[in-house]
Structure 1
Amino acid sequence: MAAAVRRIKLGSQGLEVSAQGLGCMGMSAFYGPPKPESDMITLIHHAIDAGVTLLDTSDIYGPHTNEILLGKALKAGSGLREKVELATKFGISYQDGKREIRGDPAYVRAACEASLKRLQLDCVDLYYQHRIDTSVPIEVTMGELKKLVEEGKIKYIGLSEASASTIRRAHAVHPVTAVQLEWSLWSRDVEEEIVPTCRELGIGIVAYSPLGRGFFSSGPKLVENLSEGDFRKHQPRFQAENLDHNRQLFERVNEIAARKQCTPSQLALAWVHHQGDDVCPIPGTTKIENFNQNVGALSVKLSPEEMDELELIATVDAVKGDRYDGSMPTYKNSETPPPSSWKAT
Structure 2
Amino acid sequence: MADSAGWSLTESDPGVFTGILHELGVRGVQVEELWGLDSDLLKDLEPVYALIFLFKWVGNADPATMDGNLQDPPQDHYFAHQVINNACASIALLNAALNIRDPNVTLGDELTNLQAFSEGLDPETRGWTLSNSEKLREVHNSFARSDPFHLEDHQRPDDPSEDAYHFIAYLPIGDEVYELDGLKPKPVCHGKWDANASAGGWTDLARSVLERRIATYPAGEVMFNLMALTGRKSRLEAQLEALPVESSGERFELEETLRGIEERMKDWETENALRRHNYIGLIHAMLVELAKQDRLGAQIEAAKSKMKERVAERKAKGEVMMEDD
Larger Rg, first or second structure (1 or 2): 2
Q: Which has the higher contact order (CA 8 A, sep 6+)?
A: 2
